[in-house]
Structure 1
Amino acid sequence: MTAPTKEMIADAVFENRPPSRETILDRLFASMFSGLVYPQIWEDPVCDMRALDLDGTDDVVCIASGGCNVMSYLTRGPASVTAVDLSPWHVQLNRLKLAAVQHVPDHRTFYDLFGHADRSENTDVLDRYILPHLDAEAQAFWNGRAPLGRRKGLFARGFYRFGALGSFIGVIHGICRLARVNLREVLAARTLAEQAAFFDARIAPLIDSAPVRLVVRRRAALFGLGIPPAQYDKLAADAGGDVLPVLKARARKLFCDFPIAENYFVWQAVNRAYKADGTGPVPPYLEAQHFAAVRAAAHRVVVHNRSVTDVLADADARSKSIFILLDAQDWMTDAQLNALWDQITRTARPGARVLFRTGGRDDILPGRVASAVLDRWAYDATASAEAFATDRSAIYGGVHLYRLKG
């Protein structure tokens, strides 16, 4: 990780505060972003695009993460997408996906790379079709070393098993094996009732067990989900300070509220991969029906290894219509929130929308962002509630949508 990247992450996560018990955890969390965190982003792009009514007139600013959502937005053909991330890994992954969709010969090859992500021939595909179209820095990155081989080789060994999220899910699977719980059995469920029965009989008792309670009540336990200490506290606040009931309720939503055949987040949670035969649910950008649209719009995306506030500071006034912030604001101090919303408001054009998630239930902006700025925006309670209810990823406490007034 370069020095500028370390400084950006420090500013975002712990603001270079002097060492203390709290900042030690923050620093441990920030250190994860020197590597791959999210092989798959854990927010649902379908409910987001519906809430935002994203279309070909929109100029989007978003946090890139693992790139699944950035690529999926292209199914709507937006005018432009500016994607930002503090993780060099995420930036390179997004650029790789964009180059791939433009240069591979067909959808099958693209799906082998990012859908199956475990084909031995994928490294040859990268060398032949994709890496020659990337700059020297990106080529060096993907040819560089990772655990068990070169980074590009991860796509031949089950890419979704790696990174902080993949490793975290692997630990959960290990705990389940010790408890003799086979999570993959839920994939055979044919109805929501069968899914709920499996959860109540196998998963809920495991969550309530003493070993799991002991682990998850430690603030570092959820780092693999990308949840820093400050966000952990917001989760716990929804249940009077105990995070376990919150995690149990959200796991129930993930496993019980959406049909298995429609929820790729469940497949990743229990399989660390999509359905092996390629017939299961996947993010929109991987669906064959969207391949041509994603390919046609890929050149409209620019990816920056910077903070969203800094990127917006360089943008023209009234030049953006959609801002998608994921859960990044849960990390922010009041000063950081105000700096961000100053820039959002300056660059927002009439009709602009902002969508974000929170670890806790409540909207975190009132009382923290200056009223002179926030009063220029209207909270869309109906769209927010609908987006939250239909978010298949299930791990967040709220999805929130604001619209620029006037």
Structure 2
Amino acid sequence: MVVRTPPKTHLTQRAHDAIFSRVHGGNLVYNTCWEDPRLDREMLDLKADSRMVMITSAGCNALDYLLDGPAEIHAVDMNPRQNALLQLKIAMIRRGDQEDLFRLFGEGSHPGFKGLLNELDGQMHPFASEYWKAKHYYFQSSPLNPSFYYRGTAGQMAWIALQTFLRSPRVRDYVDAMLHVQNLDEQKRLYEHVKPALWNGLVSWLVRQPMAMTMLGVPRAQIRLIETQFPGGLTGFIQSKLAHVLTEVPFQDNYFWRAYLTGHYTRSCCPNYLKEEHQPMLQSLSSRITTHSTTVANFLRENPAAYSHYVLLDHQDWLAAHKPQALAEEWQLILENSRPGTRILMRSASPVIDFIPESALQRLRLNQPLADALHLQDRVGTYGCTLLADVIA
């Protein structure tokens, strides 16, 4: 049976946008970062005097960048719940108990989380404290939801997708094998065996649903970019990206996908902020990270300075489609608050970023060879392209 996607009308598009705004305006969306900081740090080349502006997301990468010792990291996000997550991670690092930190964010559950919150009282912003008191059950493990990594909208969608995929015994065996795989040849052999079961009609239908993409944090603007610029549309894009992750980059240290496949990390396969050897440095430098619940443009208007680094993730995909004037204004503010040599890192769902205003492009020196080479090594593998640029005088 062929499952056809209903035709998109103006009404359905408006409904999708409304649902996206509602979901993202009232929920934690990202419970872990889905950008590879190993590659970011190579591209950014942070120094002791670096002053960074970045989008918070789940905060994992802000802590990873901190290991390079920059002077300041300003984590900016319109969603205060994302900043609350970073504040909780920082508070737990400062508390200094590696076992409790790893139980929370390594294992994804902690039966004593409510007690920990009492100890952390006054260590986070009031909004963050109240948010985690209300959402304490996010770290409770139950048969219906065993892990924090299946909480928040992206986590809930990962849980639904996992249950859908794991209906197939072949896929269950494949997931178990991938968690112990040792080399790329083995990965490729396993993938060819499981591919027919992985992309059955039900799964292909699921990934085309607007609500599924909304819960994963993908706005309609990005879906449209993918559908118009990638062969095979959204399904072809996801199949291609998943094939890259499963066959082209080593899976042994791919903690991004491990978290959603298993609900937890391991001591050897986890973000750097969870590794014991990094705790002293993170504790000593944690005050260099500040969080701001606003837009990048508003932050720059209210905190003018000569920043050295910007990490913009993919939010300009949405600005380009919905608010081109705001996109132009953001670039103007970025350039006004940069110095010669300021480095800008961003990503897109599109294979090519072609929406940067011409006036901004004239001030940028692109380093596309490095960005393209490292893009191929990305352990996450969900973006269409990576852009790296330096501001010139």
**TM > 0.5 between the two?**
yes
Moved over 6 A (4+): none
The alpha-carbon deviation at position 330 of structure 1 amounts to 0.9
The alpha-carbon deviation at position 221 of structure 1 amounts to 3.1
Pairing 1:69-218 to 2, within 5 Å after superposition: 69-102=61-94, 104-128=95-119, 130-144=120-134, 151-157=135-141, 158-180=147-169, 181-182=171-172, 183-202=175-194, 204-218=195-209
The alpha-carbon deviation at position 352 of structure 1 amounts to 0.2
| CA 1:110–1:269: 2 relative to 1, 3 Å | closer
The alpha-carbon deviation at position 404 of structure 1 amounts to 0.7
Counterpart for residue 390 of structure 1: 377
The alpha-carbon deviation at position 138 of structure 1 amounts to 3.0
- Greater Cα offset, 63-72 or 206-215: 206-215
Please list every run of 5 or more consecutive structure 2 residues that lacks an aligned counterpart in the other structure.
1-9, 142-146
Amino acid at match of 1:288: E
Which secondary structure state, in structure 2, belongs to the residue aligned with residue 260 of structure 1? coil
Q: 1:100-144 deviations in whole A, cap 9, x for unaligned?
A: 212x1333332222222313233323322x233234433222212
Amino acid at match of 2:114: T
Amino acid at match of 1:199: Y
Q: Structure 1 vs Structure 2: percent identity of aligned residues?
A: 26
Counterpart for residue 364 of structure 2: 377
TM-score with structure 2 length normalisation?
0.89
Q: Verify the 8 A CA contact 1:81 1:302 in the aligned structure 2.
A: yes
The alpha-carbon deviation at position 387 of structure 1 amounts to 2.8
> In the aligned structure 2, how far is the partner of 1:299 from the partner of 1:292?
13
Counterpart for residue 11 of structure 1: none
Which secondary structure state, in structure 1, belongs to the residue aligned with residue 106 of structure 2? helix
Q: Report how many aligned residue pairs link the two structures.
A: 372
Amino acid at match of 1:118: S
Which secondary structure state, in structure 2, belongs to the residue aligned with residue 66 of structure 1? coil
Which secondary structure state, in structure 2, belongs to the residue aligned with residue 76 of structure 1? coil
1:221 matches 2:212 = yes
Counterpart for residue 337 of structure 1: 327
Q: Verify the 8 A CA contact 1:358 1:364 in the aligned structure 2.
A: no
The alpha-carbon deviation at position 212 of structure 1 amounts to 2.4
The alpha-carbon deviation at position 295 of structure 1 amounts to 1.3
> In the aligned structure 1, how far is the partner of 2:192 from the partner of 2:215?
25
- For residue 345 of structure 2, the aligned residue among 352, 355, 360 is 355
The alpha-carbon deviation at position 307 of structure 1 amounts to 0.5
Amino acid at match of 1:282: C
1:63 matches 2:55 = yes
1:303 matches 2:291 = yes
Pairing 1:179-328 to 2, within 5 Å after superposition: 179-180=168-169, 181-182=171-172, 183-202=175-194, 204-240=195-231, 242-275=233-266, 278=267, 280-317=268-305, 319-328=306-315
TM-score with structure 1 length normalisation?
0.87
The alpha-carbon deviation at position 240 of structure 1 amounts to 4.0
The alpha-carbon deviation at position 255 of structure 1 amounts to 1.6
Q: Verify the 8 A CA contact 2:108 2:263 in the aligned structure 1.
A: no
Give me the CA root mean square deviation.
1.8
Amino acid at match of 2:337: T
Q: Verify the 8 A CA contact 1:184 1:271 in the aligned structure 2.
A: no
Amino acid at match of 1:266: W
Q: 1:160-204 deviations in whole A, cap 9, x for unaligned?
A: 1211111111111111232332123321222212222222211x2
Q: Verify the 8 A CA contact 2:311 2:346 in the aligned structure 1.
A: yes
